[in-house]
Amino acid sequence: MTRARIAIIGASGYTGAELVRLVTSHPRMEIAALAADRNAGKAMGDVYPSFAHMDLPRLVATDDIDWSGIDLAFCGLPHATAQAVIGGLPRDLKVVDLSADFRLRDAAVYAKWYGHEHHAPELQDEAVYGLPEFYRDALKTTRLAAGTGCFVVTGLMPLLPLCEAGLIDLDDIVIDAKTGITGAGRSAAEWKLFSEVTEGTKAYGIATHRHTAEFDQELSKAAGREVVVSFTPHLLPMNRGILATIYVKGDPEAIQAALAARYAAEPFVQVMPMGEAPTTWSVRGSNMVRIGVTPDRRPGRAIIVSVLDNLVKGASGQAVQCANLMLGFEETEGLMLAPMFP
């Protein structure tokens, strides 16, 4: 069985490192190139000592990659940079982008939330939204997948089926999300220091977080009308995990039943029995999403809790899931990782 040859651009970031972890244990992939412009020339084990014992290609500049013979590239660069780099890649190369650059299909919406014109609008048209549970067929034939926002996938998994089925009031969706800090990446900043984060919490980006636009886009598409959500992220003193607490109006029994039915055959989504709520500990290190529905004490309302590991199902794991589809592999190949607890 031949292996697909994989390049990882932006390998020295956290999503890049997580891709290395996943790809090196994937039975049908092998790493052909690792790119990290600022760290070019270094061994991956110098940038991540956890990989020091592994036989990995040395980091190179993206421009120095020889693309012949490479089947697929993961791109873990920051937004704006990603669109420039991906625009310059060979046209026949399959690409899974993990940035925000190709998630929004409307160039005007992109410009509004990200503050500048999109530099590769033609790729924006071509990109398929990288949520396999909802874009499976399109992902099998696309050459460019747009990795989903980590908060967004956490919220969309329960909300998309409910918007599609008209089971909730589309004008009253509140998403209160809690995240570990790895979603903020590895660049140094005072607010990300251990001394500033441990033993406390805060809300941030209230009503202005960029993932909001992505929520609106996908939920509106599912509902067939405009949906505008309230979304508030919070930073927690932990590395991995997102928990979204979602307040909706609708019949809790119908909601739970619809979700359970929708995801019964999905390998990476588990809907819990009525009244149970999942924890982030239960998904750490894995590609799982777990969803629980509890009736609110006020009739006709439900509280939905959805969890995942932001670096796996929220980023690199989902990217590998997309790549499996794009490469014609089993969708679960290399991704049936048991969560790591404790």
Contact positions with its own copies (CB under 8 A) in 52-71: 52-54
Q: Which of 2, 49, 69, 116 binds its own copies (CB under 8 A)?
A: 49
Q: Which of 61, 84, 193, 261 binds its own copies (CB under 8 A)?
A: 193
| Binding span for its own copies by CB under 8 A among 30-38, 119-127, 158-166, 275-283 | 275-283
Q: Helix (H, G, I), strand (E, B), or coil: what is residue 22?
A: helix
Q: Of 36, 133, 42, 126, whose CA–CA distance to 85 is shortest? A: 36
Q: Helix (H, G, I), strand (E, B), or coil: what is residue 4?
A: strand
In the complex, least distance from residue 22 CB atom to its own copies, rounded to whole angstroms = 8
Q: Which of 69, 115, 200, 328 binds its own copies (CB under 8 A)?
A: 200
Q: Which two tokens stand for residue 293?
A: 């529905």
Q: How many CB atoms lie within 10 A of CB 159?
A: 28
Q: Which two tokens stand for residue 177?
A: 């999300």
Q: Output DSSP code: residue 111.
A: H
230 to 269: interface string for its own copies, x by CB under 8 A: x-x-x-xxxxxx-x-x-x----------------------
Q: Which two tokens stand for residue 175?
A: 């998403």
As a whole number of angstroms, the distance between CA 8 and CA 154 comes to 24
As a whole number of angstroms, the distance between CA 67 and CA 69 comes to 6
Closer to its own copies at the Cβ: 49 or 69? 49
Determine, following the binding rule CB under 8 A, whether residue 220 of this chain makes contact with its own copies: no
| Residue at token pair 């940038």 | 47
As a whole number of angstroms, the distance between CA 144 and CA 141 comes to 9
Q: Which of 3, 24, 40, 260 binds its own copies (CB under 8 A)?
A: 24
CA-to-CA dists, residue 70 to 2, 66, 89, 95, 231, angstroms: 13, 8, 11, 11, 39
Q: Which of 61, 174, 261, 264 binds its own copies (CB under 8 A)?
A: 174
> Quick check: 186 and 48 in contact, CB under 8 A?
no
In the complex, least distance from residue 249 CB atom to its own copies, rounded to whole angstroms = 10
Q: Which of 228, 261, 264, 332 binds its own copies (CB under 8 A)?
A: 228
Known catalytic membership, residue 150: yes
| Binding span for its own copies by CB under 8 A among 94-102, 130-138, 169-177, 318-326 | 169-177
Q: Within positions 72 to 111, which residues make up the interface with its own copies, using CB under 8 A?
A: none
Q: Within positions 281 to 310, which residues make up the interface with its own copies, using CB under 8 A?
A: 281-286, 288, 290, 294-298, 301, 303, 305
- Active-site positions read 150
